[in-house]
A = this chain, B = another copy of it.
């Protein structure tokens, strides 16, 4: 069995290497990549079926890499190993995981034991292992309760990118008014009105900008999500 490690921090990489060796005696080869681009290439060359992937990498992040890898070989098993449990990451991952694929999401703060267990469960037993903290987010995020609908999330991203109402309407195939309706919904859920009306005349917020910030502070958005969205936007702009 071969395992590919994609992780840009050398310390973490060697830690992972050791953990894999310890947890998987049946593994005879470990390959390492220091960013997403190299990771994709190695995965392709070696036809890797077992990958441990960091999410936040400078060059090309884990979600991008995982997406192209899964596109080529959907049965690949990937364990995401991340520092954070931002809702943006969780949402990003669940967006790209193929039907029935075995994958995992473990936080770097987890114990050695937990990491090793996850490695065995996913790579040997083909089970999904999601860190309980992440799991909580997932439920909230994807279930409708308290979470955001896809359309709400979509429009959040659109205003975060800085599109006008009109541009959003065109992009999403909606009328101007519908876009604005969704915006209102979003403002509502993000509770942007908070101190807006407290001392009238005074501390009013610019709802649109405020919504983006609040989403950021709540980890609904993060750098990597923005980066991806921006890339998609540029792509769309090309295609007129």
A residues contacting B by CB (< 8 A) are 9, 11-12, 15, 83, 108, 159-164, 166-167, 170, 192, 195, 199, 202-214, 216-217, 222-223, 226-227, 230, 237, 240
A162 touches B206 (CB 8 A): yes
A167 partner residues in chain B, CB cutoff 8 A: 202-205
Instruction: Give the number of times this chain occurs in the complex, counting copies.
Output: 2
A166 partner residues in chain B, CB cutoff 8 A: 204
Distance to closest chain B CB from A222 (angstroms): 7
Q: A203-B237, A223-B222 in contact; A162/B108 too (CB < 8 A)? A: no
User: How far is B97's CA from A109's CA once the two chains are assembled, in angstroms?
Assistant: 31
Distance to closest chain B CB from A200 (angstroms): 12
Nearest 6 CB-CB pairs, A to B?
A162-B210, A162-B209, A162-B205, A11-B11, A164-B206, A162-B213
Distance to closest chain B CB from A45 (angstroms): 26
User: How far is B217's CA from A159's CA once the two chains are assembled, in angstroms?
Assistant: 15
B216 touches A226 (CB 8 A): yes
> Can you list 15 pairs linking A and B with CB atoms under 8 Å apart?
A9-B108, A11-B11, A161-B213, A162-B210, A162-B211, A162-B212, A163-B209, A164-B204, A164-B206, A167-B203, A167-B204, A170-B202, A195-B237, A208-B209, A212-B212
B237 touches A206 (CB 8 A): no
- Closest Cβ neighbor of A108 among chain B residues: B9
B230 touches A217 (CB 8 A): yes
Q: A213-B160, A213-B226, A230-B213 in contact; A206/B206 too (CB < 8 A)? A: no
Distance to closest chain B CB from A217 (angstroms): 6
- Closest Cβ neighbor of A199 among chain B residues: B240
A209 touches B11 (CB 8 A): no
Distance to closest chain B CB from A78 (angstroms): 22
A209 partner residues in chain B, CB cutoff 8 A: 159-163, 208-209, 212
Distance to closest chain B CB from A13 (angstroms): 10
